[in-house]
Structure 1
């Protein structure tokens, strides 16, 4: 690991898969880069410098048209293609971030901020009113790990002291301290972490009686162009507020794992609000003051280590589902198809479309049971376009085991639709070690 800032530790660089020809010129690999993101020509994705501990993604993972972040071989799908630039974990410390989640009963009992300031709407946002309402629910996180210290952000989700953040912020933490907006500091402990989604939950050891929890929104309703606000602890500057708009949704973004394991692939919300190292794990609010995402990664160039207006957030619906499982079970389950994938295209009905090309199909896997075959080109999932292996991986990972999805497949010059019941990732399948989806 290399340290560019005494408060942050970056993940080691990894070798991205060879990208397809790109209409854009990929930026030079940034120094000490970890994973890289490129829409067509994939640069090296690296963990963004983080003043807080942990580095997995950064403030959200980009979703390129084909795939924002290019990764070598994704354990669920071969990934290549990303977005021009470098996707970095906002907070790359050796401690993964933690994400907190609560069940409905806990949330109903919690004190929450006003979910809809009367003076603020998407059409006429009143950011002063929103900031006043939500900042008490946002915390700064400081961690100590075996290799250093780091800082990140988090959001209080219930009055019992549970806090949602990134796995790459707190996953490897030996000690965790949480600072509230008014300066009070509390010790915290890990509740659970999920490296696959970069979500984690921590809990204050002795929470105060006046703890304020945030109101959770619906990330499925987020639309391109709507205003959003990020609140966090960038570069150690706690309670920092930045605003912008949603630049894209369902953006496939991949970032390296702090432990050298499988890359994190997310169907992210892309925003242009300024997000920097230390923002990781912090909330992204809509104009009504509801949390719609958890910032986790940014895209950068070799000449810029901070925000260039390309930030990414984990959709809160995914983060909340995983966090709830962590609280209730100590671990989270993940959906899978049971195939290896590559990038390619298929032609049917006079049109050529990009998609994810099926390699091997696992024996008795959900894909095999649905009739998916080698060389099929998956071009859409539930009507949402699939731009490549990473795109399909991200869409599958945001769903839950048991969900039924419809794959639009190009086979032999024809288009067909296959209904697939997603399996649970832990189940045994026959797949090569290099890739599985």
Structure 2
């Protein structure tokens, strides 16, 4: 996947790729196989930031799909209590699901949100972050901190204290990273992690972050859509593909890595990107995207424990496609190739099959399947539903561990 390093935003004139596209420039390469190792053609390198409005700031942000970044917590798969939840005595809940008291929620959660200042060879950048635990671990986006020079990372707490930090681990595949305070104070306030699977379209949400360097900025809105496939470039040149939470809360450059809260003050996502119109508008147009906390939490936990993340592997090459089944046309992921000996091969997936579901999740195209696979864990058993010769067939697959590409 692709994630932008924490480099500064481009200066005028800004590129104007077609909409929608990630923080870099469009058009983007075909969606890579969600599970087949190997690089995908990187997007044209013009600016270090994508075009979904990334929220890590460095000068400006532009274009279609720009990564925003941050938030997330330690949810696992399935989502058991996380480190952050264990250390938080009570949920900072205020208001109700139908009538949020945003003033109270903002007051409760503000101490869990931090601002990041990053120095890179290309210049300074900014982003947001979320306190995971009392050990000083902070979750943010990989594109916020990627490229940071030694000694070039500072975290500003909500009370104004500025503390040095180091990168504990980063995962360009999901555009997530964990940084750790060098000398964490004993009065940190870990965020409470919620359950992104419990979200519904129309639910009230609140984004908190550091847009354009304006720390502790709060914006509210609703969940506009769920499982929205979003692809942005990563710091390693392959696409970051996420089934994102789409929101209409204002998200801007610098929000990257910041938390998205529900009406009870629980983290449900990590803001990472925004859509922007071609032509130069770089701010929010009401189309923001967040990485679901259930994915972000699992990745964060692995980064804290090992510094790396094991990703699931299916072993197919994909394209968008359609299939006729039961008298109807359905969209899905067309299998263009199967890696010999891969989980897909062993399950009986064939070239020409159209994948329409993974477990209980509907698959609407190549990016959709890629994101669903990346949400799962290696060793997980799943049902892959394919349409072959006009008939739907369920195949059983055990996902393997994706091999790490050596640079």
2:8 paired with 1:8: yes
Could you list the per-position Cα deviations for residues 290-327 of structure 1 after superposition, in whole angstroms to 9, with x for gaps in the alignment? 00100000000024211000000001111111111111
Aligned to 2:326: 349
- Say if 2:68 and 2:272, in contact at 8 Å, map to a contact too: no
Within 5 A, what are the aligned runs for 1:129-148? 129-148=104-123
2:55 paired with 1:90: yes
2:280 paired with 1:300: no
2:113 paired with 1:149: no
Gap runs ≥5 in structure 1: 1-6, 12-29, 39-43, 49-68, 80-84, 429-437
What TM-score does the superposition give when structure 1 sets the normalisation length? 0.79
Aligned to 2:208: 231
- Say if 2:70 and 2:258, in contact at 8 Å, map to a contact too: no
- Say if 1:101 and 1:201, in contact at 8 Å, map to a contact too: no
Deviation at 1:153, TM superposition (A): 0.2
CA distance in 2, matches of 1:257, 1:109: 32
Aligned to 1:270: 246
1:73 to 21, 30, 46: 30
- Say if 1:326 and 1:332, in contact at 8 Å, map to a contact too: yes
- Say if 1:193 and 1:199, in contact at 8 Å, map to a contact too: yes
- Say if 1:246 and 1:272, in contact at 8 Å, map to a contact too: yes
Could you list the per-position Cα deviations for residues 87-126 of structure 1 after superposition, in whole angstroms to 9, with x for gaps in the alignment? 34332659997778659685466356x5142x41211210
Could you list the per-position Cα deviations for residues 216-268 of structure 1 after superposition, in whole angstroms to 9, with x for gaps in the alignment? 11111111110000000000000000000001111110001234x11100111
Gap runs ≥5 in structure 2: 1-6, 41-49, 60-66, 76-80
CA distance in 2, matches of 1:202, 1:196: 17
The secondary structure found in structure 2 opposite 1:415 is strand
Within 5 A, what are the aligned runs for 1:38-117? 38=20, 44-47=21-24, 71-77=28-34, 87-91=52-56, 106-107=83-84, 110-111=87-88, 114-117=90-93
- Say if 2:243 and 2:371, in contact at 8 Å, map to a contact too: yes
Deviation at 1:330, TM superposition (A): 1.4
Q: Which stretch shifts more, 283-292 or 380-389? A: 380-389
Aligned to 2:97: 122
CA distance in 2, matches of 1:9, 1:286: 29
- Say if 2:112 and 2:130, in contact at 8 Å, map to a contact too: yes
What TM-score does the superposition give when structure 2 sets the normalisation length? 0.84
2:127 paired with 1:170: no
The secondary structure found in structure 2 opposite 1:125 is coil
Question: How has the CA–CA distance of structure 1 residues 348 and 108 changed in structure 2, closer, same or farther, with 3 Å as cutoff?
Answer: closer
The secondary structure found in structure 2 opposite 1:121 is coil
Question: How has the CA–CA distance of structure 1 residues 396 and 109 changed in structure 2, closer, same or farther, with 3 Å as cutoff?
Answer: closer
- Say if 2:140 and 2:178, in contact at 8 Å, map to a contact too: yes
Question: How has the CA–CA distance of structure 1 residues 133 and 98 changed in structure 2, closer, same or farther, with 3 Å as cutoff?
Answer: closer
The secondary structure found in structure 2 opposite 1:419 is strand
Aligned residues: 370
- Say if 2:331 and 2:364, in contact at 8 Å, map to a contact too: yes
1:190 to 163, 167, 173: 167
CA distance in 1, matches of 2:83, 2:367: 35
CA distance in 2, matches of 1:144, 1:31: 22
CA distance in 1, matches of 2:310, 2:207: 28
The secondary structure found in structure 1 opposite 2:257 is coil
- Say if 1:33 and 1:47, in contact at 8 Å, map to a contact too: no
Within 5 A, what are the aligned runs for 1:415-430? 415-426=392-403
Question: How has the CA–CA distance of structure 1 residues 394 and 336 changed in structure 2, closer, same or farther, with 3 Å as cutoff?
Answer: same
The secondary structure found in structure 2 opposite 1:346 is strand
Question: How has the CA–CA distance of structure 1 residues 121 and 223 changed in structure 2, closer, same or farther, with 3 Å as cutoff?
Answer: same
Please provide the CA RMSD for this pair.
2.8
Question: How has the CA–CA distance of structure 1 residues 108 and 282 changed in structure 2, closer, same or farther, with 3 Å as cutoff?
Answer: closer
Could you list the per-position Cα deviations for residues 349-376 of structure 1 after superposition, in whole angstroms to 9, with x for gaps in the alignment? 2111111100110111000111100000
CA distance in 2, matches of 1:359, 1:373: 9
- Say if 2:116 and 2:154, in contact at 8 Å, map to a contact too: yes
CA distance in 2, matches of 1:242, 1:227: 11
